[in-house]
Amino acid sequence: MNITDHTLEKMDDPFGILEGERYEYYLFAQVDEDDELYSPEGMYIRVLYVVTETEQKIAGMFLHNRSDDSVLDFELEDDELDMIKDYCQKHLK
């Protein structure tokens, strides 16, 4: 998997009940044709990312097909999860 681009948006917590700040990433990725996640239209990963005083972590993650926005029911491998977390940390505003 190769992350080619992303968008990032800070999420509002109007009631102030959640600890830390929440961000929503859309990571656009390319995968090899022999990968089970491959589709000709491509895919993206929606990541809910949390930043507190003591940690940064992925709070949720959803894989989507770009052609119809459907959610893909796949689990990512540990190295892919680490890559996504590192990418989010590196590209946080």
**For position 38, what pLDDT does the model report?**
77
> Under a CB-based contact definition with an 8 Å cutoff, are residues 46 and 58 in contact?
no
Determine if the pTM surpasses 0.75.
Answer: yes
> Under a CB-based contact definition with an 8 Å cutoff, are residues 43 and 33 in contact?
no
Question: In 3-state terms, what secondary structure has residue 63?
Answer: strand
> From edge to edge, which strands make up the β-sheet containing 71-72?
2-11, 21-30, 43-51, 56-65, 71-72
Q: Quick one: tokens of 67?
A: 């052609």
- pLDDT tens across the length of the chain (93 residues): 889 999 999 998 888 777 899 999 999 998 888 888 777 788 899 999 999 999 999 999 999 988 898 998 888 999 999 999 999 999 997
